[in-house]
Structure 1
Amino acid sequence: MGELFSLPDVISVMDMSWQRSCALATSSFSLVVQDVKSNGAISLKNLDNQTGRLHVIQMDVSNQEEVNNALQYVKKHLPENGLWGIVNNADESSCPGFLEWSPIENYEKTMAVNLFGAIRVTNSFLPLIRKSQGRIVNVSSLLSRAPSPFNGPYAIAKSAIDSYSAILRAEMKRFNVQVVVVDPGSLAEGANFNSAKREFTRTIRRTWDLLDDGLRLDYGQTYVEKQIEIGQMSMELAETDIGSVVEAMVKAVSQLHPKDRYFVASLAEKCVAYGMQYLPLWLTDRLLPTMEAQTYLSYLSYLEPFILI
């Protein structure tokens, strides 16, 4: 890790597992958590008795009134050295499925949290960040680099976060405020992993059952089952070290000279992302949506020697 310096307080707008919440909490940061009833928030409240530095409050990023209340709370409790940074990590995933399957409400719900929520929080707290010449950290996704079928609304929202971050970075340079993006891949979290795989499959099939006969006829059961197989296999290739994502967030906030972007994913996911970025579109368009699971693995094996970690 590079050179660190003494930090004022940091706000982390979270919707994450309690493991990552607690890991950040032990890094001497003050935290604001979105959902006070979540496992992460409850764990942080327990840690508050030990550290005395944690502030767990309700803040729905899609609700301007709650964001305003959080801002007033933060102003009231800030020490003299002020607010150093924001980590925008609130996250909303719509039901997986093809774009045509997703009602417009899925897009709106996903954008309300992943994009507009980050913008709402950033705009509200930006005067404090400008004053301290601090940091804004926006959490994007592997899917912003490698958008894939079945994850459309989420990938669209995270791609928008990338553009927002790039523009904000340019606009904040004159104020010496740094904007950093963290791109996590999929995260496999122990016992929750198998449950997530089962829920993924159940959700797809429930959605399939709700489609009208015309859509089911056009897409076909065989193609849908193939996408489920690829989705489950992609989950098998997920990064298992959740701590690496936490470490990237901490570096983004605390290093004297942070990277503009931290890409935290498994080697296999990096192969997919770089392949989709740099291989010709005619090849990826032909390959990825139609391949069998074994072909997908062969594709990753072919790309692996070219990936520099």
Structure 2
Amino acid sequence: MPPSKTTDEPDDSHTWELIERCFLPIAFSHAIAVTLGTILNTLGISQTSSFLLFLLFLSLSVGFTLFYHNLKVTAAGKAVLITGCESRVGYGLAKRLDELGFTVFAGFEDSSKNHETMMNLKGETSARLHALQLDITNEHDIHSVFLYVNENLPDGAPGLWAMVHANTWIALGECEWIPQSVFKKSVDINFTSIARMTQIFLPLIRRCKGRIVLVSNILARIPSPVRGLQCASGAALEAWGNCLRLEMRRWGVDVVIVETGDYVAGNTWLKNNVGILNQSRDMWIQLDPQTRKEYGEELFQKEMLSLEKYIKGPDADLTTVQRVLTDTIVKTFPLKRYAPVTRKERLQAFVSDHFPKSIYDIIYVD
């Protein structure tokens, strides 16, 4: 696999995870301390200050929260299915989980095209790892993998412990330019097929009270020109995942959303400079004459060539993403949402979520 780009920015995602985990215990500790202190003082039972009670409840609640936050499951006898292992994200996660002792079913979109990558992965891992042909848009592949997984679960395993949807397909371009066929393919790979595959594997996951991990992107919460299709498919996946999480609570199944940062995690529609020129020409031809006249070919070519910054240059450092994805599998009580992103991306998402859209546009768009 290609080398990762190192970054000088510290990984503070773990700090934010702890803050999210401890926020409610701290708030409840304060409320209980004030209420109990008022009652005791009113009844004349004790003159204990609310602040001392708060410190007592805070130490107990935060200590207990940190205890169960760090609880981990035993890897032995647990199986994990990962899609999109031809990508760096899926490949790295499969290796890491195999090292921890999980039985890993690694799905590759095209086994013939990715034969060398599959052989490399099998050569770097134990016999517990199974490299499989799995095109999630192909119903036959999905059912074949379901049968294979069901027949090759570890001894004593009632079902599948986790399924990680690490596949993605990214199309770049302004919303008006992208052909309908590309829209359909993007929605199919990034949302529809994920939902369909989850439906088929849920019975196996329910048996283990396991978890489903959906790899999304921070763009699901950040509007971004030229990446509207990626924003839309990510938002659809997250909305569906949140609904599924509520529905699966009765079964003890966790649904975890991981919002990755601004990098290309998997396959892209526009792959290189030559591809950009060829496919941009195809897009231009498919536009109606009036639209071409209004935009002008010079603007179109300039916009398309500017997309190189999203798909070229050094590979992103995926260390934080790999750590988070591993946590979603090994933690006994995973968070409902993780965001292993940079401080800049976190701030941008905060502004997008909580500030008026006009303010967001002024800061990040205009």
TM superposition score normalised by structure 1: 0.80
> Is the alpha carbon distance of 1:199 and 1:169 closer, same or farther for their aligned partners in structure 2, counting shifts above 3 Å?
farther
Q: Residue type matched to 2:351 in 1?
A: G
d(CA) in 2 for partners of 1:111, 1:187: 19
Q: Contact 2:94–2:106 (CA<8 Å) still a contact in 1?
A: no
d(CA) in 2 for partners of 1:204, 1:288: 28
Q: Residue type matched to 1:284 in 2?
A: Y
d(CA) in 2 for partners of 1:74, 1:269: 37
d(CA) in 2 for partners of 1:207, 1:274: 37
Q: Contact 2:219–2:262 (CA<8 Å) still a contact in 1?
A: no
Gap regions ≥5 residues in structure 2? 1-13, 15-69
* Structure 2 counterpart of 1:122: 198
1:14-53 superposed Cα distances (whole Å, 9 cap, x missing partner)? 25434751453232231221322325433222224xx111
Q: CA deviation at 1:154?
A: 2.2
| 2:83 equivalent to 1:9 | no
Match for residue 105 of structure 2 among 12, 31, 34? 31
d(CA) in 1 for partners of 2:248, 2:89: 32
* Structure 2 counterpart of 1:87: 164
1:181-223 superposed Cα distances (whole Å, 9 cap, x missing partner)? 011112379xxxxx96746864675356434543233224675
Structure having the higher Rg: 2
Percent identity between the two aligned chains: 26
| 2:168 equivalent to 1:100 | no
d(CA) in 2 for partners of 1:146, 1:199: 29
Aligned to 2:161, the other structure's residue is in SS state: strand
Greater Cα shift, 97-106 or 17-26:
17-26
Q: How does 1:218-297 map to 2 (within 5 A)?
A: 218-220=294-296, 224=300, 227=303, 231=307, 240-285=316-361, 288-289=364-365, 291=366
* Structure 2 counterpart of 1:44: 121
> Is the alpha carbon distance of 1:52 and 1:178 closer, same or farther for their aligned partners in structure 2, counting shifts above 3 Å?
same
Q: CA deviation at 1:152?
A: 2.1
d(CA) in 2 for partners of 1:126, 1:19: 23
d(CA) in 2 for partners of 1:238, 1:272: 23
d(CA) in 2 for partners of 1:182, 1:219: 37
d(CA) in 1 for partners of 2:276, 2:354: 31
1:97-146 superposed Cα distances (whole Å, 9 cap, x missing partner)? 11111121111101111111111211111001111000100111121111
Q: CA deviation at 1:91?
A: 1.1
Q: CA deviation at 1:3?
A: 2.0
1:255-281 superposed Cα distances (whole Å, 9 cap, x missing partner)? 112111111222333333222222211
Q: Contact 2:89–2:166 (CA<8 Å) still a contact in 1?
A: no
CA RMSD of aligned residues (A): 3.0
Gap regions ≥5 residues in structure 1? 190-194, 292-309
d(CA) in 2 for partners of 1:274, 1:197: 32
Aligned to 1:27, the other structure's residue is in SS state: helix
Match for residue 130 of structure 2 among 30, 55, 64? 55
| 2:221 equivalent to 1:145 | yes
d(CA) in 1 for partners of 2:278, 2:80: 36
* Structure 2 counterpart of 1:298: none
Q: How does 1:166-205 map to 2 (within 5 A)?
A: 166-187=242-263, 198=273, 202=277, 205=280
d(CA) in 1 for partners of 2:313, 2:347: 11
* Structure 1 counterpart of 2:91: 21
> Is the alpha carbon distance of 1:20 and 1:167 closer, same or farther for their aligned partners in structure 2, counting shifts above 3 Å?
closer
TM superposition score normalised by structure 2: 0.68
d(CA) in 2 for partners of 1:248, 1:199: 35
* Structure 1 counterpart of 2:27: none
Q: CA deviation at 1:149?
A: 1.5
Q: Contact 2:92–2:322 (CA<8 Å) still a contact in 1?
A: no
